């Protein structure tokens, strides 16, 4: 454990904080997938149309709710990381074309891994992946937004803020009407729509998309903006994160209370669960404000705790420094645990020890891989993982 918490490369506090938040949301993501593979209790997706998940058990809902932080957190932190990488490489003499090419290659690798490996893992799920040959998931959105966002790395903060606002409001205005829910017919327009804007299925080509690119782009651009703030003045940036996070949560409560624009579909009832049970696919304004409000406050809290809780942050950073390695490995691990140990599923409380077992198994592997990756040349393909 002492070795795991050691810090042989002595990261600056701002990077340790970013890695720690990434590690935290990775841990929460693993909870969601353990629920799927081990408990067999994963709820249906919170889609813009069609049936919507309803909960009678608070534990089941809270288990799902905390994992909502992951996808927006990954997108935001990817944008932060892109800017920090670009800033560091410029200081080393890299040109803009070399920096953009790096992100184009990395984005393409994410998409290829998604299509060739991750789609196959989901076929190991207890319910299978019947009727699908192509699933557009989170790595597709991350890869696609990375490629697009590489064009924005030179924008000044005021333009990044403007672009974030335009995307935030614009994608909400472009959100589909729940009354239009149904399978899409296959043609070029519907295919582009499914990949870029609207989650849903095209049965003719056995395609389903949960993560079209455009609705997640705003968070990557916002991350690039925050990366600018970090480089300019890291302490001020983390304080700003807390203030913006609080404003986001306040805006969420107003939008959710009014139950109109920004929700995509109305609340199912008047309970606290109904209030917090929001549309994720595509991310509604309410979803983004709620999850990013919490993520930003967590980022600020981790920065405040950087000197007081170094071992805890370093522990989270072990996961946070090897996100793609963890992502691929943890899916196979939880699928195997479910197949071998819980073929008939478990209750959600009984699933939690298996989730922790998976994290304990992955921790030394991620620590080893993090050390291995840091020893590779900057242009090594291993750096992509």
- Residues 153/99, Cβ–Cβ less than 8 Å: yes
Place of tokens 């935001």: 76
Residue in 174, 138, 181, 172 with CA at minimum distance from that of residue 51? 181
Question: How many residues appear in the chain?
Answer: 385
Q: Are residues 187 and 245 in contact, defined by beta-carbon separation less than 8 angstroms?
A: no
Kindly give the confidence (pLDDT) of every residue in the chain, 385 residues in length, as a single tens digit, with 9 standing for 90 and above. Answer: 444 444 444 455 568 999 999 999 999 999 999 999 999 998 989 999 999 999 999 999 999 999 999 999 999 999 999 999 999 999 999 999 999 999 999 999 999 999 899 988 888 777 666 555 688 899 999 999 999 999 999 999 999 999 999 999 999 999 999 999 988 888 999 999 999 999 999 988 888 999 999 999 999 999 999 999 999 999 999 999 999 999 999 999 999 999 999 999 999 999 999 999 999 999 999 999 999 999 999 999 999 988 787 888 999 999 999 999 999 999 999 999 999 999 999 999 999 999 999 999 999 999 999 888 888 776 666 665 6
User: Mutual orientation of helices 70-91 and 138-149 as an angle, nearest 10°?
Assistant: 30
From CA 136, how far away is CA 207, in angstroms rounded?
8
What is residue 13's predicted lDDT score, i.e. its pLDDT?
56
Which candidate, 294, 309, 231, places its Cα nearest to that of 73?
Answer: 294
Give dist(CA 176, CA 130) in Å, integer. Answer: 26
Per-residue pLDDT, 40: 93
- Where do we find the tokens 């829910």? 181
pLDDT at 383: 61
Q: What number of CA atoms fall less than 13 Å from residue 129's CA on the CB side?
A: 18
Q: What are the structure tokens assigned to 259, written together?
A: 């139950």
Smallest Cα–Cα separation from 146: which of 211, 243, 216? 216
Tell me the HSE value of 49 on the side-chain side, using a 13 A CA sphere. 14
Alpha helix stretches (DSSP H) within the chain: 2-5, 13-34, 58-67, 70-91, 96-113, 119-122, 138-149, 157-173, 188-196, 214-232, 234-258, 272-276, 285-304, 310-320, 323-341, 348-374
Give the integer Cα–Cα distance in Å for 221 and 199: 21
Cβ contacts of 178-183, under 8 Å, gap ≥ 24: 178/48, 178/49, 178/50, 178/264, 178/265, 179/49, 180/49, 181/47, 181/48, 181/49, 181/50, 182/49
Q: Domain ranges in the chain?
A: 74-236+253-280
Please tell me the predicted confidence (pLDDT) of residue 31.
98
141 burial level (CB within 10 Å; 0-12, 13-18, 19+): buried
Q: Is the peptide bond before 292 cis (omega within 30 degrees of 0)?
A: no
pLDDT at position 286 is 98
User: Rounded to whole angstroms, how far apart are CA atoms 25 and 78?
Assistant: 13
Backbone angles phi, psi at 134, to 5 degrees: -145, 120
Task: Work out whether strand 207-209 and strand 134-136 pair parallel, antiparallel, or are unpaired.
Answer: parallel
């Amino acid at each position: 454990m002492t070795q795991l918490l050691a810090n042989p490369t002595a990261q600056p506090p701002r990077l340790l904080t970013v890695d720690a938040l990434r590690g935290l949301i990775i841990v929460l993501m693993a909870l969601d997938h353990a629920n799927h593979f081990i408990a067999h209790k994963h709820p249906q997706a919170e889609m813009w149309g069609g049936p919507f998940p309803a909960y009678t058990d608070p534990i089941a809902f809270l288990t799902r709710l905390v994992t909502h932080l992951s996808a927006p957190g990954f997108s935001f932190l990817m944008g932060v990381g892109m800017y920090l990488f670009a800033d560091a490489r410029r200081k080393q003499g890299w040109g803009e074309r070399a920096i953009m090419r790096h992100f184009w290659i990395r984005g393409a690798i994410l998409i290829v891994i998604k299509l060739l490996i991750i789609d196959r893992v989901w076929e190991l799920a207890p319910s299978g992946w019947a009727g699908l040959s192509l699933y557009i998931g989170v790595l597709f959105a991350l890869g696609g937004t990375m490629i697009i966002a590489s064009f924005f790395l030179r924008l000044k903060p005021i333009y990044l803020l403007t672009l974030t606002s335009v995307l935030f409001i614009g994608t909400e205005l472009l959100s589909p009407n729940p009354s239009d829910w149904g399978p899409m017919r296959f043609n070029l327009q519907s295919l582009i729509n499914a990949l870029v804007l609207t989650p849903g299925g095209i049965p003719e080509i056995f395609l389903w998309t949960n993560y079209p690119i455009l609705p997640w782009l705003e968070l990557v651009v916002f991350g690039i903006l925050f990366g600018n703030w970090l480089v300019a003045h890291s302490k001020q940036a983390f304080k700003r994160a807390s203030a913006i996070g609080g404003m986001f949560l306040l805006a969420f409560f107003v939008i959710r209370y009014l139950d109109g624009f920004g929700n995509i579909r109305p609340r199912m009832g008047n309970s606290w669960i109904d209030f917090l049970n929001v549309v994720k696919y595509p991310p509604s304004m309410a979803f983004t404000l709620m999850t990013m409000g919490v993520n930003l406050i967590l980022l600020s809290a981790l920065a405040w705790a950087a000197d007081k809780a170094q071992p805890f942050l370093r522990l989270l950073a072990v996961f946070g420094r090897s996100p793609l390695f963890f992502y691929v490995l943890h899916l196979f691990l939880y699928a195997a645990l479910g197949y071998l140990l819980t073929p008939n599923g478990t209750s959600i409380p009984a699933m939690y020890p298996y989730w922790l077992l998976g994290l304990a198994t992955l921790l030394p592997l991620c620590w080893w891989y993090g050390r291995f990756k840091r020893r590779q040349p900057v242009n090594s393909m291993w750096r992509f993982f």
